[in-house]
Amino acid sequence: MLDIGIDKIGFYAPHLYLDMTKLAASRNVDPDKFTIGIGQEKMAVTPVTQDSVTLAANAAWEILDDADKETIDFVIFGTETGVDSSKSAAVYVHELLGLNPYARAIEVKQACYGATAGIQMAKGHIAMNPDSKVLVLGSDIARYGLNTPGEATQGAGAVALLISAEPNIMALEDQSVYFTADIMDFWRPVYSDKAFADGKLSNEQYIAFFSEIWSQYKAKSGLGLKDFEAITFHLPYTKMGKKALKPVLGETTEEVQERLKTNYQTSTEYNRSVGNIYTGSLYLSLLSLIEQANAFPAGSRIGMYSYGSGAVGEFFTGLLQNGYKEHLHIKQHDDLFASRKEVTVPEYETIFEETLPTDGSEVAFDVQDDPATICLAGVADHKRRYVNKKK
Ligand code: CAA
């Protein structure tokens, strides 16, 4: 049978960040609440020269070679912070990357679940067209507002996944359990550029969905915790996955519990320094695990729990491939984190309020201040103007 899965993974976050202990001080909150209670150390801050399109394009730019650009015939862009109600963000990325024109390009929305739907769609497409490659993007800017309970769980970034047959990193298995229920735990009306959340309900539903889906998965697959090297989670903040994992750990031995807890911790490292990136968050956590842990044996099974408020959840799995470490971009990601610039709380607040005009007026930005390859250069005639400095 044809193995289908993740062949390459790219990641990009804006070059600015805020230290959570400084945000805590300015909001008169004990810093331990943010760093331990929520589990976040740094939060990516998005300059006006980046949006969900540019973040995704930058994440993909670092991983694709010319052969990939020729072979990709489907671009699936998962986002809940898209830039247009009609045109898909995937079409902009397709152009910015210079992809083969004989391609489909669409946007998928269901809160933080969009990229997972994209991966499953890509798997079906490759099963029918084994020579094709699909670019799946998860890109978002999480905004709740200044001085809101959600403020400490903001962030921004994108993950780009190249899905193909005979993948170099992870082969996806066919067993998966998905679940939908209409819940108002988190939403963003079309008139608002900030999300609304019922924080307590969202935490409860995230855990309840995991519990339901995990029970169903065990019954369907016959597998249990011992069969997993690690379980990765959608991470709105890094304490969240821990809260869902803890109640089920008693199902297994101390040894397996320790393995899952250690690997969970490693899977939170990148997210802890970036914040919530919504639909890319699960895949940032997967990336953190496989880049920051020592190499796992080929065939190790990794679980992935995707949760998109509203709500749709899914648990699915993949097997790490022989030599997968050689296909990761660890140095690039270390450099990305090391080169970020800290902003003060007043600077973050100013950047947060600097949004694009909504009255049709024109604006132009100096993209030289933004080290990213692909930037938003302005808006004119109601159209966003993008630039790829290397194309
Ligand atoms: N030292 C250590 N820990 C402390 C502390 C201190 N001084 N003070 C508080 N804490 C702990 C609390 O005990 C709590 O831990 P537990 O949850 O384990 O009990 C934690 O810090 C958070 O404290 P609160 O519950 O009081 O925090 P809050 O009410 O101010 O807000 C939040 C927390 C609900 C997550 C809020 O930030 C929020 O609404 N965020 C947006 C919604 C969200 O992220 N929901 C997650 C599930 S939904 C989802 O996953 C989809 C998505 O991406 C949005």
CB distance 16 to 158 below 8 Å = no
pLDDT digits (tens, 9 = 90+) for 63-87: 999 999 999 999 999 999 999 999 9
Ligand 1 geometric centre to CA of 342 (Å): 24
Average pLDDT, stretch 211-229? 98
Q: What is the pTM of this model?
A: 0.98
Separation of alpha carbons 286 and 26, rounded Å: 32
Quickly tell me which residue has 């049978």 as its tokens: 1
Closest residue by CA, ligand 1 atom 34: 199
Looking at residue 104, its pLDDT comes to: 98
pLDDT digits (tens, 9 = 90+) for 93-149: 999 999 999 999 999 999 999 999 999 999 999 999 999 999 999 999 999 999 999
pLDDT digits (tens, 9 = 90+) for 239-254: 999 999 999 999 999 9
Closest residue by CA, ligand 1 atom 3: 37
Looking at residue 154, its pLDDT comes to: 98
Separation of alpha carbons 103 and 327, rounded Å: 25
Closest residue by CA, ligand 1 atom 16: 37
Ligand 1 geometric centre to CA of 356 (Å): 30
pLDDT digits (tens, 9 = 90+) for 309-350: 999 999 999 999 999 999 999 999 999 999 999 999 999 999
Catalytic residue of the set 112, 125, 291, 375: 112
- Domains identified in the chain and CATH numbers: 4-169+328-388 (3.40.47.10), 171-324 (3.40.47.10)
Looking at residue 19, its pLDDT comes to: 98
Separation of alpha carbons 380 and 361, rounded Å: 7
Separation of alpha carbons 358 and 26, rounded Å: 30
CB distance 313 to 210 below 8 Å = yes
Assess whether 375 carries a catalytic annotation. no
Assess whether 80 carries a catalytic annotation. yes
Looking at residue 35, its pLDDT comes to: 98
Which residues sit with their C-beta closer than 6 Å to ligand 1? Answer: 30, 32-33, 36-38, 112, 149-150, 152-153, 185-186, 197, 199, 202-203, 206, 234, 236-237, 239-240, 276, 278, 307, 309
Closest residue by CA, ligand 1 atom 27: 149
Question: Bridge partners of 170?
Answer: 6, 320
* Residue 4: exposure state from Cβ atoms within 10 A (0-12, 13-18, ≥19): buried
Ligand 1 geometric centre to CA of 38 (Å): 5
